[in-house]
Amino acid sequence: MDEMLELARGFYKDEYADSVLYAQLARIEKDEDIRKEFLRLSNIESKHAKFWHDFIKRHGGEVPKPSVKRLMIFSVKLLRRLLGPGSVASLLEMGENSAIQKYFKYLTTYAEGFSEDELREIKDVILDELEHEKFFYESKERFHVENTRDLVLGMNDGLVEILGAVTGLSAVYPNNPQLVGISGLIVGVAGALSMAIGTFVSVRSQRQIKESIRDRMEVLFRVSPERAAEELVEKLVEGGMPEEVAREVAKELADNSDAIMQLLLPEAEENEIRAALYTGLSYLVGVAFPVTPYFLASSSLTALPFSILLAGSALAIVATLISLLSGISIRKKVAEMVATGLGAAFLSYLFGRLMEVLFNVSAL
């Protein structure tokens, strides 16, 4: 009972904080339809908070004082202004999915302790959260949110790779920080171009393959609609649909080639130029953090701790934003990203020291 009430207290505080968050997002949202949706979501979360408030009291528990997650609200607003509504929709969708999983686990674990009305209301809460997740999923499709992935990966790669490079070079050229900084910039620009070109080629190739398959399906549909329908049946059965139902669906769609191809090729297209720009530019932003101190310090070993501090702080901020918006433990996510980034830098420094010892490069 104690654990059940403790979890309910957490749900109450989360729902209250989410209602405030959506209300704040509505205040700064310029798209009228999305603004109205945020207000609607805020009202629903308020209703959920009241349910958990009453639930706790009915079971003899003490209702905690709700608090506003000011850091989370600030983070979401900042992300909205910097990256647009798509990135916020993507991360809020992750948060809703996390809530759904927690509620479902709670429902299945403590079902015997609930009344019929409480079971029904908790199921209604889960259905509301599923509807919220659907809204954010549809919203992120409108705003090219797939490029948020390119931005995060590009910036992370720029931070980690160039931090490793300048750390290793610091061991080789301890008295020439400008050389280390310039070398880091050269490697960074080359890396940004490489990442951008790689993303361009990858996304373009995927789109071309998809177009080729679509052309094949169009030909197949015109030459042999029966065979096209059979491929649809195979696809639906692979997805877990019973064969009888799959054949019924294929029969209903027999005259609709667009619907069949949409089912066979459901993924949304991504613009290769936009993906390349996001990846390359975010990589350069990541490069700036570890490289900047080398143009300001008198020695590489003086610049090194500042470089590590800036890069580590940037990694921690990114990890914190992701954690706040997706329901992941902040401590674990920050530790994961910072440890991997600084661990790579430490190994690079050791390798740089090894090269300096073996070849006496700094004396050249």
Cβ atoms within 10 A of the Cβ of 237, count?
14
Instruction: List, in order of start, the domains of the chain with CATH numbers.
Output: 1-143 (1.20.1260.10), 147-201+271-359 (no CATH), 206-264 (no CATH)
Model pLDDT, residue 12 = 93
Structure-block tokens of residue 120: 């029904």
Q: Report the 10 Å Cβ neighbour count for 262.
A: 11
What are the CA-CA distances from residue 140 to residues 8, 105, 337 (Å)?
30, 27, 25
pLDDT digits (tens, 9 = 90+) for 164-218: 999 999 988 999 999 999 999 999 999 999 999 999 998 888 888 777 877 777 7
List, in order, residues 6 or more apart from 70 with CB less than 8 Å away: none
Half-sphere exposure of 297 (CA within 13 A, CB side): 22
| Run of H or E including 223 | helix 177-223
Residue owning tokens 């914190």: 320
What is the pLDDT at residue 215? 76
* C-alpha pair distances (Å), 14 with each of 46, 62, 230: 10, 16, 48
pLDDT at 71: 76
pLDDT attached to residue 101: 81
Predicted confidence at residue 9, as pLDDT, reads 92
Question: Taking a C-beta distance cutoff of 8 angstroms, is the pair 25, 38 a contact?
Answer: yes
- Tell me the two tokens of residue 289: 């953090």
Which residue in 103, 98, 96, 92 sits closest to 7, CA to CA? 103
Q: What is the pLDDT of residue 297?
A: 94
Calpha distance 7→308 (Å, rounded): 39
How many of the other CB atoms lie within 10 Å of CB of 27?
11
Sites in the chain below the pLDDT cut of 50:
363-364
**What pLDDT does 298 receive?**
92
CA atoms within 13 A on the CB side of 299: 7
Going by C-alpha positions, the residue among 227, 236, 234, 216 that lies closest to residue 254 is: 227
- Which residues lie closer than 8 Å to 193 by C-beta, 6 or more apart? 280
User: By the 8 A CB rule, do 136 and 264 touch?
Assistant: no
Render pLDDT for 331-349 as a digit per residue (tens, 0 to 9). Answer: 887 888 888 888 888 888 8
Q: How far apart are CA 191 and CA 147, in angstroms?
A: 18
Q: How far is the C-alpha of 151 from the C-alpha of 170, rounded, in Å?
A: 28
Say what the pLDDT of residue 139 is: 61
Angle, helix 300-326 to helix 177-223, in steps of 10 degrees: 40
Q: Looking at residue 72, what is its pLDDT?
A: 75
3-class secondary-structure state, position 328: coil
Q: Please provide the size of the chain in residues.
A: 364
CA separation, residue 117 to residues 56, 79, 124, 127, 160 (Å):
14, 39, 10, 15, 52
Residue 76 in tokens: 């979401």
